[in-house]
Structure 1
Amino acid sequence: MDGIGSPDERTDAVRALESEFGELIARFRKVIHASAQRLSPGMLPVAYKTFTTIVRHGPLTPSALAEALTADKGQVSRTVRELESLGLVERRPDPGDGRSSLISATPEGIARLEDARSRDGGGLAATLADWHVDDIRTLARLLHALTSGEAPGR
C-alpha cells in the first residue's frame, strides 16, 4: 500500500502518537515553567510563551499577537503590560495604522532570553545532545507539517 498501511495499522499508529504527544505535552509544560523562572522569577508560563512569540514573530500588533497565541485579546493585553513592566517588550505606534501599536522585544529582553536559554541544563538542547542533526531537522520538518496541516515532503 505504498507505506500508507492498513486501516488497523494506521489506527494503532495514531493512537501511539496521541499517547506520545500526551507525554510530550506534560514534559513541555515543565520545560516552559522552568524557562519562565529562569527568565524572570515568578513569571507564568503564559507570559513566557507570549514573550517568545513576540521574539519569534515580532513586531506584532496586539491583534496579531492574540491570533498567533489563539488567546483572548484582553488576556494578551494584560500579559503584554506585565512584559513591559519587566523591560522585556516595548510598544511603538504602528506606522501603518495610527490607532494601533506594534509590540517588539527590547534588546534587554532578547539578552535575558538568550541568558535564560543558555542556562537550560535539562531542556530540549540537553535532551537532543546525542541526536544526529539530520534527525532533529527531520523531526522539526514533520512537526511543522503536522501543525500546519500539510502533508510532509520526503
Structure 2
Amino acid sequence: MMENVTSEIDQPAAADVRTAAMRALESEFSGLIARMRHLYIEYANRVSPGMLPGTYKVFSIIARRGPITASAVGETLMMDKAQISRITRELSELGLVERTPDPKDGRASLLSASEEGHRRIRAAMDSGDNHLVRALEDWDVADISRLTVLLHALGEGKPPAP
C-alpha cells in the first residue's frame, strides 16, 4: 500500500525544478548570445570591412525601425547619447544613414538607412552563409513563430500568450 504514496523526498521540490530550468535557459542564452555576437561581427564586416559590431547594431536598428530618432536608438540599445552621435556620424560618412528633420521636434533629426545602406544590409544578411537561416531550415514554421512569440514576451517581461 505504501508503494502508491509518493513522498516529498522522492520528488524534487517545484522550486528546485524551476531553478534548474532557469539555469539551463540562462546557459543556452549565454551560448546563443556568443553565436549572435559572432554573427554580428560577420554582418558588420560584410556591410563595411572593419565595421565594429556595435556600429552594426546601431545601423541594423536604424535600418529596421527607421525613420527613428537617435535618442530612441540609444534607449533601444541602452547606449548613451555621445556613443549614438559618434556612431551615426560614422554611418552617415559611409553613406549608409541619412538624416532628415523631425517634423515633431525641430531640434531633432530622424535617422533612416539610405538606399545604399538598405542594399548593403540585405546583401550581408542574404549571403549564403546565414547561420540562423541554416539552423532553422529544418524547423517547422509553427515552432519558429512560437519561439518568436516566446522571446518577445520574455523581452517585454510578460507571460507569453497561449
Please tell me the TM-score bracket, short chain as reference.
Answer: over 0.9
Report the secondary structure of 1:18's partner residue. Answer: helix
**1:40 is aligned to 2:40:** no
The worse-fitting range, judged by mean Cα deviation, of 80-89 and 54-63 is 54-63
Between the two proteins, the alignment pairs up a number of residues equal to: 150
Matches within 5 A, 1:2-21: 6-21=14-29
**1:147 is aligned to 2:134:** no
Report the secondary structure of 1:15's partner residue. Answer: helix
1:76-122, Cα deviation, whole Å (9 max, x unpaired): 00000111111110111111111111111111111111111111514
Segments of structure 2 that go 5 or more residues without pairing to the other structure are 1-12
Question: TM-score scaled by structure 1?
Answer: 0.93
Q: CA RMSD in A?
A: 1.2
Provide the rounded CA distance (Å) in 2 between the counterparts of 1:99 and 1:122.
Answer: 39
Q: Which residue of 1 aligns with 2:31?
A: 23
| Match 1:80 to one of 64, 88, 102 | 88
**1:58 is aligned to 2:52:** no
| Match 2:138 to one of 107, 130, 133 | 130
8 Å Cα contact 1:61/1:101 also seen in 2? yes
Q: Which residue of 2 aligns with 1:98?
A: 106
Larger radius of gyration: 2
Provide the rounded CA distance (Å) in 2 between the counterparts of 1:82 and 1:43.
Answer: 10
Segments of structure 1 that go 5 or more residues without pairing to the other structure are none
Identity %: 53
Runs of 4+ in 1 over 2 A off after TM superposition: none
Question: TM-score scaled by structure 2?
Answer: 0.89
**Paired residue type of 2:75:** E
Provide the rounded CA distance (Å) in 1 between the counterparts of 2:25 and 2:95.
Answer: 40
Report the secondary structure of 1:38's partner residue. Answer: helix
